[in-house]
Structure 1
Amino acid sequence: MEQPVALVTGAGRGIGAGVAAALSNEGYAVALTSRSRDQLEETAARCAGPTLVLPTDLTAPGAIEEVVDRVEQEWAAPQVVVANAGAGVSASVDRTTDEQWQQMLDLNLTAPFRLLRRTIPAMKQAEHGRIVVVASVAAKLGEPYISAYTASKHGVLGLVRSAAAELARTGVTVNAVCPGYVDTPMTAQTVQGIVDKTGRTPEQALAALEAKSPLHRLITVEEVVEAVLTCVRNSGMTGQGINVDGGGLQS
């Protein structure tokens, strides 16, 4: 494989699909993974260059290893890894079940950890690599009713910072992008959850989310993608959690 290789998780829709298409336009051969083959095929159709469609549940035992093994067998070790797969759940602390808690940790924290563990050795050997985790402003700020999600995102930002410090002199950078509410299907699910629990109209629920940003609008997928590409391009940036939230959380 003459082209550099990128691996994007959660590539079936939203931010992951946008990142995959952008990396393809940058000249990468892009391996795509998420649960849905149909969605991955749609993302592959948006890409300008070679793609590898690898539907899987990243929380399943051995799934990360199988995906990376396949990429290496078909192409080469990924030089860019974007850990975007994630999900959210809303409940008060006292109503958060063990199952909900574990779901958030498994997908939002353990899966990225396993992905880094599996892909870092080849990057270190090549003395070059870019790892970007799509986290959330919830990695830095606690909000009510999302304790499990917030804990998982705080955890993954800690993973990013520690890995970046460890790899600082190897040519491998590790960063997180921390979006606010983005115009994606995941936010649409959040809106519906507010409607179901509060009786607000969808318009009222959306307005409440938009009001969290000084811009009074949702962040676009393209704005998050640009932040991810910055992390890929900039060799002097590592260990960062880059906020893309319209100025709601200033740091």
Structure 2
Amino acid sequence: MKQFEPQPDDWAVVTGAGRGIGRFLAQHFAGKGMRICALDIDAYEAEQTASLCGEDSRGSGCDVSDREEVASVAEKLIAQGIVPRLLWINAGVGSAATVIDTKDSTIDWLMGVNVYGPMFTARAFVPAMKAAGKPCHVAITASSASVTPVAGPFTLYATTKQMTAAIGEALTAELAEDGIGVTILCPGILDTDIWNAAQARPERFGGARQTPDKVGDHWRAQPGPDVLAKGIDEALAAGGGWCIIPTEADTEPKMLARHEAQRIGFHRYAVGESE
């Protein structure tokens, strides 16, 4: 894929842009002269991000887990001439939940935001990007949990984030013929509010819930999202691909152990061979 160079006055649409990595991404690309359309389930936070990105930028509420809302927001923006040259599918939520023991509503919530959300967002914006006929790029924020074995207390989150990365791989394959590169960002734990994501959980998924503040201590002890800048710029300059930026020393050995386990479990046989 051709390298992607952010151009002044081009639009970058960033989902989950109200805080954390999303706000960092919006400001990062605004710093390169791009106009930012910040989308977030919290419209006020989205507008606050836009205000940090220049007078030509704008913010809007958008619940990425709602297919019809995503389609409606995209349709309105595209009608206003906001066809992104860079679409960053970033919205994501976390929960200390397991596959077996958690509530159905929690499963629906994480699947809705981390899995269906990226698909709804891509389906809503990419056709217009392709039709515009200009160099463009799609990026998706997965996680270091997308490339390491599913383990620990966040097994449901890790499961959905492995699917997030798989959607990035699907988009890579589907958009290759159109010359559109795809970046799959896999950051480690950063100083963001993902630990308190339930504060904006819609009623249909169980409603808002405030996580005890002390839970966030581990995240607050981590580096901020600005550590992603160099890796992101290099990935875009290379035309996309995997962009794994761990903050935990054991991410690489865990990733390699996962690959080794897959290798060991690989069984060769001749197709059509009888027992």
For the aligned pair, the TM-score class normalised by the smaller chain equals 0.7 to 0.9
AA matched with 1:131: V
Q: CA RMSD in A?
A: 2.7
User: Which whole-Å CA distance do the structure 2 matches of 1:42 and 1:27 have between them?
Assistant: 18
Partner of residue 173 from structure 2, selected from 165, 187, 191: 165
Are the aligned partners of 1:12 and 1:43 in contact in 2 as well (CA < 8 Å)? yes
User: Which whole-Å CA distance do the structure 1 matches of 2:88 and 2:66 have between them?
Assistant: 19
Q: Where do residues 92-241 of structure 1 align in structure 2 (5 Å cutoff)?
A: 92-125=98-131, 126-141=133-148, 142-187=150-195, 202=214, 206=217, 218-231=222-235, 233-238=236-241, 240-241=242-243
Q: Where do residues 16-31 of structure 1 align in structure 2 (5 Å cutoff)?
A: 16-31=22-37
In structure 2, relative to structure 1, the CA distance for the partners of 1:131 and 1:96 (3 Å cut) is same
Partner of residue 14 from structure 1, selected from 20, 23, 34: 20
User: Which whole-Å CA distance do the structure 1 matches of 2:98 and 2:167 have between them?
Assistant: 26
Residue 82 of structure 1 corresponds to 88
Percent identity for Structure 1 against Structure 2: 22
AA matched with 1:227: G
Q: TM-score, normalised by structure 1?
A: 0.82
AA matched with 1:137: S
Residue 66 of structure 1 corresponds to 72
In structure 2, relative to structure 1, the CA distance for the partners of 1:94 and 1:76 (3 Å cut) is closer
Shift in Å, 1:139: 1.0
Are the aligned partners of 1:160 and 1:176 in contact in 2 as well (CA < 8 Å)? yes
Q: Which runs of 5+ in 1 are unaligned?
A: 211-216
Deviation string for 1:41-77 (max 9, x for gaps)?
A: 2212211351122112221231111121122122331
In structure 2, relative to structure 1, the CA distance for the partners of 1:34 and 1:176 (3 Å cut) is same
In structure 2, relative to structure 1, the CA distance for the partners of 1:39 and 1:226 (3 Å cut) is farther
User: Which whole-Å CA distance do the structure 1 matches of 2:186 and 2:76 have between them?
Assistant: 29
Number of residue pairs the alignment of both structures matches:
233
AA matched with 2:237: N
Q: Which runs of 5+ in 2 are unaligned?
A: 1-7, 199-208, 256-275
Are the aligned partners of 2:67 and 2:120 in contact in 1 as well (CA < 8 Å)? no
In terms of Rg, which structure is larger?
A: 2
AA matched with 2:165: L
1:95 match: secondary structure: coil
Do structure 1's residue 242 and structure 2's residue 210 form an aligned pair? no
User: Which whole-Å CA distance do the structure 1 matches of 2:232 and 2:118 have between them?
Assistant: 16
Deviation string for 1:211-234 (max 9, x for gaps)?
A: xxxxxx513210134433444x32
Residue 45 of structure 1 corresponds to 51
AA matched with 1:73: A
In structure 2, relative to structure 1, the CA distance for the partners of 1:166 and 1:28 (3 Å cut) is same
Residue 213 of structure 1 corresponds to none
User: Which whole-Å CA distance do the structure 2 matches of 1:166 and 1:49 have between them?
Assistant: 35
User: Which whole-Å CA distance do the structure 2 matches of 1:65 and 1:226 have between them?
Assistant: 32
Q: Which runs of 4+ in 1 moved over 6 A?
A: none
Residue 214 of structure 1 corresponds to none
